[in-house]
Amino acid sequence: MATCKLAVIIKNPLNDDEFLLVKQSPPPKFGHEEYDSFVDSDLFDLPSTPLTPLQGQSQCPVAVEGQELCSHKLTLTDFDLNLAINQVLGQVGLGPASGVVWKFWKFVEEPEFGPGLPVQTVYITGKVGPINGSSKAHCKWMTNQSCLSCLLEVKPSSDRVGPLVVVGLLNDSPQSEKWIPPTLHVQEYPPGVKILPMGSRTAKPFRTTNLVVFAPGNATAITSDNCFVAHGDALIVDPGCRSEFHEELREIVAALPRKLVVFVTHHHRDHVDGMSLQNNKFLQILYIFNGHRQKCPASSQRKRQGKSLTGLIG
């Protein structure tokens, strides 16, 4: 079972490199005065909407070229594509469009972050436009390069680019990394930051803890900045999976660059259960947890040593 969603890449009929992004609604208030006082900059992403199963109809009246490419995972004709596409066009200020050639772009199965159902997203593309003047305040035409610039050259209060753009357009093959075991699903957002939910002894209703891996393509870059706590060619955060996932974790660690930094946000078992697997005589591993650094893990020191890092990364 999964929640199904449609993401639409609306191409500019005057410039094939441009696609339309829409400003996303801010998240609901958390109910904590200090937390709610923080204001994020605007987040722009591909327009999307849930896919609703057809009710009492034999087939969907909207045709998508190449839809059979995802038939092994999901049958698009089982859903009300006409409704979904019109909802997406409404988000960007366009009415129902006729005569548009819609083409299948990509099918993405989100990792099971839990506790809810995983999300399966179908990406389609088509040329529609131009957008009217009233929509220009919350929509913008972007290119792959301009999206990468937003992600890699972050400035205070600058607009942000959402995960649908990164997963759907910027990551050509998110599962192509050789160090990711085929039994695991990964999400990369932003580029260079990979999140793998791994089964752990976490609190219910959750079942997994996110293993976060920072593995930049240029791992040989050397910096002389002494302000950093540690330097390395790759960083993993919270290796806390259950024993049945230790083999996958061992594969990940063995495939990463030799100079590795392991950061543990806090001492809970679902964040430290895989610590012993990092012992490898061929790796230079530096451990950072609870405000301390050390070359190898020691279970006696993994116990409570203060809470200086607790909550920095969940």
Q: Using one digit for the tens of pLDDT, what is the confidence trace for 304-313?
A: 333 333 223 3
Verify that 235 and 146 share a domain, yes or no: no
Same domain for 152 and 25: yes
Is 50 exceeded by the pLDDT of residue 174? no
Percentage above 70 pLDDT, the chain: 78
Model confidence at 297: pLDDT above 90: no
Is 274 a member of any domain? yes
pLDDT at 79 (0 to 100): 92
Average pLDDT, the chain: 80
Do 26 and 160 fall into the same domain? yes
Strand partners, 45: 22
134 pLDDT exceeds 60? no
Q: Coil, strand, or helix at residue 262?
A: strand
Q: DSSP readout, 141-175?
A: EE-HHHHHHHHHS--TT--EE-HHHIIIII-S-TT
Residues 133 and 30 in one domain: yes
Tokens of 182: 């085929």
Give me the mean pLDDT over the 150-169 stretch.
89
- Kindly state whether residues 129 and 33 are assigned to the same domain: yes
Q: Would you say residue 164 has pLDDT above 80?
A: yes
Residue 144: its pLDDT value, please? 94
For residues 67-102, b (16+ Cβ closer than 10 Å) or e, as one string?
A: beebeeebebeebbbebbbbbbbebbbbeeeeeeeb
What is the predicted pLDDT for the residue at 133? 53
Structure tokens at 208: 């997994």
Q: Which domain holds residue 215?
A: 187-301
Q: Are residues 133 and 242 in the same domain?
A: no
Residue recorded with tokens 């890699």: 152
Per-residue DSSP letters for 38-106?
A: --PPPEEE--EEEPPBPSS-SS-S--EETGGGGTTT--GGGB-HHHHHHHHHHHTT-----S--EEEEE
Local confidence band at 69 (pLDDT 50, 70, 90 cut-offs): very high
- Flag whether pLDDT at 47 surpasses 90: yes
Domain count, the chain: 2
The stretch 131-141 carries a mean pLDDT of: 72
Averaged pLDDT, 269-286: 74
In a domain, 176, yes or no: no
CATH code, domain with 145: 3.90.79.10
Final residue of a domain: which of 121, 141, 170?
170
Residue 85 and residue 155 share a domain: yes
Single out the residue in 115, 137, 170 at which a domain terminates: 170
Q: Has residue 280 been placed in a domain? A: yes
| Residue with the larger pLDDT of the pair 99 and 222 | 99
Same domain, 193 and 149: no
Domain boundary among 122, 140, 170: 170
- For residues 9 and 131, state if they share a domain: yes
pLDDT tens-digit profile of 214-244? Answer: 876 544 444 444 444 456 788 889 999 999 9
Q: Is the pLDDT of residue 122 over 90?
A: yes
How does residue 178 score in pLDDT terms, banded at 50, 70 and 90? Answer: low
Residue 307 within any structural domain of the chain: no
Same domain for 38 and 165, yes or no, is yes
In this prediction, residue 18 carries a pLDDT of 95
- Shared domain for 295 and 265, answered yes or no, is yes
| Verdict on whether the full-model pTM lies above 0.75 | yes
Establish if 152 belongs to a structural domain.
yes
Q: How far is CA 9 from CA 40, 125, 140, 156, 231, in A?
A: 25, 5, 13, 28, 39
The pLDDT, as a whole number, for residue 96 is 79
- Please tell me whether residues 166 and 196 are part of one structural domain: no
Q: Is residue 69 part of a domain?
A: yes
pLDDT of residue 89: 92
